[in-house]
Structures are given as C-alpha cells and as structure tokens.
Amino acid sequence: MSLTGFRGAVCCLLTMLMSLQLLAANSASAMLYTNGSTWLNGSEVPKSAAVFAGDLVQTRADSTARINASGSSVMVLSNSLVKFQGPEVEVEHGAVSIATSRGLGTRAGEVTVKPASDSWTEFCVADVDGQVQVVASKGDVTIQDQQGTTTLPQGQQTTRDEASASSKRKHHHQGQGAEPAARGSVMSSTKAILIGSGIIGGVTVWALTRSEQPMSPSCPNNTCP
C-alpha cells in the first residue's frame, strides 16, 4: 500500500471513530426546558439548557421542567429531584411523567420501570416517603425490584417499596448549591402527584409533536388512567 493510500485509510478510520463518539455522546444528552424556577447541578436555569448523563435537575413547588431526548420526553413535576442518565432517569424524590419510543426507563431506589416493548409508551412514576407508585397510561411496562420482575398492563397502577428493609435510600440528596425543594402539601399526597403526572403526560405528547418551547402551566384534559 502506498503512503497516500495508507494516510487515506487512517483518515477514514479516524472519521469513523469520531462519528461513533458523537453518536455515543448524543445518546447521553438532551435539552432541558423550564417552567418556573429550576436548577441544573445546583445552578438556576433561565429557560433552557443542555443536559448530559449524570446531571441533576431539581424543581420547586411552583415549577416543572421538561427533558427532551431523542425519541423521549420526561416531564419533571414540582418538588422533584431527578438525575438524567441517558438511557434512564433516576428519581431521587418527586414524580416524573415519561413518553418514549426508545425504551427510556426510570429508576427510583431499587425499583426500575421500563417499557415492555419498543412501541410508544407513556407512564408515570412517583417516589415519595419510600413508596414508588407507577401508572401505565399507554402501553405495558415492566417493573423490576427486590421481589423480581413483573409486567404492569396498560391502564393499571401499582405501589412498590422503594428499597428493601436492609438498604433504605436517603431522600435528601441535593445538587451542590441548589435550594432545597419544599416539602409542601403537594408532595404530601402521592395520589395528587399521580394525578398531576397523568395531566403532564398528555402535555408531553402534545409538546413532542408541536413545539420545542417550554410548556404552558395550563392543564390539558389528558389524564393517566
């Protein structure tokens, strides 16, 4: 092989490697849109920001946030602390409503919730006071915890313990510099959270198909079953 041909082969190889790195980076990145006071890794976000694997998103009692990734949207409800991990989100406290066609999962303590298939799936997960409540609003989801793996059919809901008795997870993990999320009456009722998650689930689908702007605080008529 000539020197010119060798150099060409090396350039092609480097280009392929860079493309693979970019694809890997894109799979672990997303955009954050805020509706009210929201923190990203302890710093307040004015309107929007890029998020990457390991980033913490925190909302207050009067705010919500939306994470848009490829083929997925995550609505972070008020008084919530969520870690974005690329292929899944970790709910440290609070509630999220997820709409995904890419199998985006959610983990709360030792409970992992994922779509049961690759089809479009919408579900809500609330983690408050050691209890994880799951609502499968569109499509089936699988739930994995210390008891094993089960399937929650569309239209059903269930409650699981966040962790086994021997490994209770702390609930007060905060991003450095972030204001503590208020623990008001909204978060004192998991039922209220799930109702709110269902409402936001409808907004998520609407936003994915129409706009990349932050969502309106007005509530649509869609609700989780």
Specify the pLDDT at position 163.
Answer: 78
Q: Using pLDDT thresholds of 50, 70 and 90, give the confidence band for residue 208.
A: very low
Helix boundaries (H) for the chain: 3-27, 190-210
By C-alpha distance, which of 62, 43, 132 is closest to 92?
132
Cβ contact 125:134 at 8 Å: yes
Q: Is the pLDDT of residue 12 over 50?
A: no
Question: pLDDT per residue over 141-166, tens digit each?
Answer: 999 998 899 999 999 999 999 876 54
Specify the pLDDT at position 20.
Answer: 34
Answer with the residue of higher pLDDT: 28 or 41.
41
**Residues present in the chain in total:** 225
Question: pLDDT per residue over 63-111, tens digit each?
Answer: 999 999 999 999 999 999 999 999 999 999 999 999 999 999 999 999 9
What's the fold here for domain 30-210? Jelly Rolls (2.60.120)
Cβ contact 161:130 at 8 Å: yes
Output the CA–CA distances (angstroms, integers) from residue 53 to 41, 56, 194, in the order listed: 12, 9, 26
Q: Using pLDDT thresholds of 50, 70 and 90, give the confidence band for residue 199.
A: very low
d(CA 126, CA 115): 16
The pTM of this model reads 0.67
Cβ contact 110:148 at 8 Å: no
By C-alpha distance, which of 96, 55, 104 is closest to 79?
96
Question: pLDDT per residue over 175-192, tens digit each?
Answer: 444 444 444 333 333 454
